[in-house]
Structures are given as structure tokens and as C-alpha cells.
Amino acid sequence: MKVGIGYDVHKLVEKRKLIIGGIEIPHDKGLLGHSDADVLIHAIMDSILGALGFGDIGKHFPDTDERYKDISSMVLLEEVYSIMKENGYMIGNIDSIIVAQSPKMFPYIDTMKENITKVLNTSKDNINIKATTTEGLGFEGQKEGISAHSICILEKNKGGRYDRN
């Protein structure tokens, strides 16, 4: 078993789509970034890469590389899954939290879980997503940005088992 943590933050700006958990969420602002700036998926990828001891998403998908300009973070998550699988691991559990004053995330969490579950080829029971506000404190509370945290447990794959548990 290996454990990794991940964290990501992006600034909210006008004229960008708000993509979190692989879905577009209606909002007057979106997250600024080289890719689609999906903070949740970025935090999850970093937690997986961290558990593997393989650095972070900046190492694997640098923002100086035009191949990743405006790319869907779900595509990048598929690449991280491939790295994990090639190294003989599978998801044990992922627990994550989105920190945003607005919009409210609750209506979208089940769809986010389904998206992540499909890409990581695991059971929905192995993926947990929570959301919270900061009661108006900090950059999230002032609606200047959104952050996400993730912790991941990877289990050694025994016998080639990558099916949904």
C-alpha cells in the first residue's frame, strides 16, 4: 500500500468555463490555467503520482508544453491511470475536497464521482468527494479562486486485477 496527497489551486477569471471533476458547472467565472484548470482532477492526479513517488503533474504535463494547452484534465487523468497500472497498482481509495465559496458543488458531486470512477477503473465506493466553503475567509472565501485537496491510497495489484472492485 502507498499513500499520496495532492493539492491544486486556480484563480477565478471571466471568459473561462468552470470545469471541475470533468464537468462544466454553470458559473459567471471559470478557472485560469494552461489546461482546463480542473482543480479537483489536478489534486487527484498529484495524489496518485505522489503515492507512486513519481513527482507531480507539472513534471509530467508542464504548462510550457503546447500539447497540454486547453486539454481536458480527464485526458491527463487517463495518462496518470496508465502510469499507475503499468507500475502494478490500483486505487484503494481516494478522498478529496473542493474548497469554493461558490458555486455550490453538491448537485454535481455524483457526476464527478462517476467520471473519475470510469477513468480510474475502480468502484464508486473507492472515490469520495466533499465540498466546503471557507465562510468568506481567504482567497476561496473572497471568490478569487478555488482549491482542492486529495489523498490517495494505492494497492499493489495482485493477479492482474483491474476490474471494478
Query: Is 35 annotated in some ligand binding site?
Result: yes
Of the pLDDT bands very low, low, confident and very high (cuts 50, 70, 90), residue 164 is very low
Query: Is 103 annotated in some ligand binding site?
Result: no
Query: Is 144 annotated in some ligand binding site?
Result: no
Residue type, 111: T
165 has a pLDDT exceeding 80: no
Query: Is 119 annotated in some ligand binding site?
Result: no
Query: Is 64 annotated in some ligand binding site?
Result: yes
d(C-alpha 133, C-alpha 152), whole Å = 22
Query: Is 125 annotated in some ligand binding site?
Result: no
Say which DSSP state 97 is in: E
Query: Is 9 annotated in some ligand binding site?
Result: yes
* 145-156, strands of its sheet edge to edge: 30-31, 2-13, 145-156, 89-99, 127-132
Question: What is the model's pLDDT at position 7?
Answer: 98
pLDDT per residue over 10-51, tens digit each? Answer: 999 999 999 999 999 999 999 999 999 999 999 999 999 999
CB-based contact 113:127 (threshold 8 Å): yes
163 has a pLDDT exceeding 70: no
Three-state SS string over 135-165 comes to CCCHHHHCCCEEEEEEEEEEEECCCCCCCCC
Query: Is 3 annotated in some ligand binding site?
Result: no
CB-based contact 23:73 (threshold 8 Å): no
